[in-house]
Amino acid sequence: MHNHQDLDPLIRMAAGHYQFEAIHPFTDGNGRTGRILNSLYLISEGLLHQPILYLSRYIIKNKSSYYFLQLDVTVKGQWKPWILYMLTGVTETAIWTSEKIKTIKQLIEHTADYVRKEAPKIYSRELVDIIFNQPYCRISKLDDAGIAMRQIAATYLRTLRDIGILKEMKVGREVLFIHPKLMELLKGDSNEFSPYRS
């Protein structure tokens, strides 16, 4: 994959992915590992800055073609259809990911407007941004970020819960504040979200 610099990195990725899957080095987890290696390879080649190209979605959705085309490479040496399949996967996944990112940015702006309107006393852009770092938030996260000390941070998160942005969940002795709309966007195929209710 690294020796043939005359070939486009995406073609090298497709060939490398086939070869990894054909070798099948592990007793379990080859598919997941192979798909993760795709993203890591694209990062190493400077085509991605973060591993956000989730090719697994495309491969799983088109699983029968995935296996059929791999077998065609193994049995008949038919590389072109396999490489085109992978390039189509990269294209479709990049478009889907761009739309997903755009929708998450829209949700961030919608959330900022909603907090500004419904809870102006606690509103800060830093508070809104931090609840989008992950689909859940801990009280300590606000404290660590310098947004608010622990007791006030708990009040902020409970206010966001009360206005319908977060849901509080006890996990062992810890309290987590889950962000359901962000979770739905990250998990689902949809690139839409419903507005918060006043």
pLDDT confidence tier of residue 106, bands split at 50, 70 and 90: very high
Q: Tell whether 135 and 182 lie within a shared domain.
A: yes
User: Which of 54-58, 60-64, 150-154, 160-164 shows the lowest mean pLDDT across its residues?
Assistant: 54-58
State the DSSP H helix or E strand holding residue 131, giving kind and residue range, or none if neither.
Answer: none
Q: Tell whether 19 and 75 lie within a shared domain.
A: yes
Which residue reads 């070798």 in tokens? 23
- Indicate whether 197 belongs to any domain: yes
Q: Is the separation of the CB atoms in 1 and 22 below 8 Å?
A: no
Q: What gap in Å lies between CA 183 and CA 180, rounded to an integer?
A: 5
Interior angle at CA 126, CA 124 and CA 128, nearest 5: 75
Q: What gap in Å lies between CA 91 and CA 77, rounded to an integer?
A: 24
- Indicate whether 31 belongs to any domain: yes
- Indicate whether 109 belongs to any domain: no
β partners of residue 167: 178
In the listed set 98, 133, 155, which residue is the last one of a domain according to the structure?
98
The pLDDT mean for the chain works out to: 92
Q: Tell whether 91 and 140 lie within a shared domain.
A: no
Q: Tell whether 18 and 88 lie within a shared domain.
A: yes
- Indicate whether 90 belongs to any domain: yes
Q: Tell whether 66 and 133 lie within a shared domain.
A: no
Q: Tell whether 139 and 79 lie within a shared domain.
A: no
Q: Tell whether 89 and 35 lie within a shared domain.
A: yes
At position 21, the amino acid (one-letter code) is E
Q: pLDDT tens, 119-133?
A: 999 999 999 999 999
Instruction: State which residues form the domain around 60.
Output: 9-98
The answer, yes or no, to whether residue 198 has pLDDT greater than 70, is no
Q: Average pLDDT, stretch 87-108?
A: 95
- Indicate whether 62 belongs to any domain: yes
The answer, yes or no, to whether residue 2 has pLDDT greater than 80, is no
Number of domains in the chain: 2
Q: Tell whether 17 and 89 lie within a shared domain.
A: yes
Which residue reads 């077998």 in tokens? 71
Q: What gap in Å lies between CA 160 and CA 123, rounded to an integer?
A: 10
Q: Tell whether 177 and 140 lie within a shared domain.
A: yes
Q: Helices 79-118 and 180-187, interaxial angle, to 10°? A: 170
- Indicate whether 1 belongs to any domain: no
Interior angle at CA 55, CA 182 and CA 137, nearest 5: 25
For residue 165, give the CATH number of its domain. Answer: 1.10.10.10
Q: Tell whether 30 and 65 lie within a shared domain.
A: yes
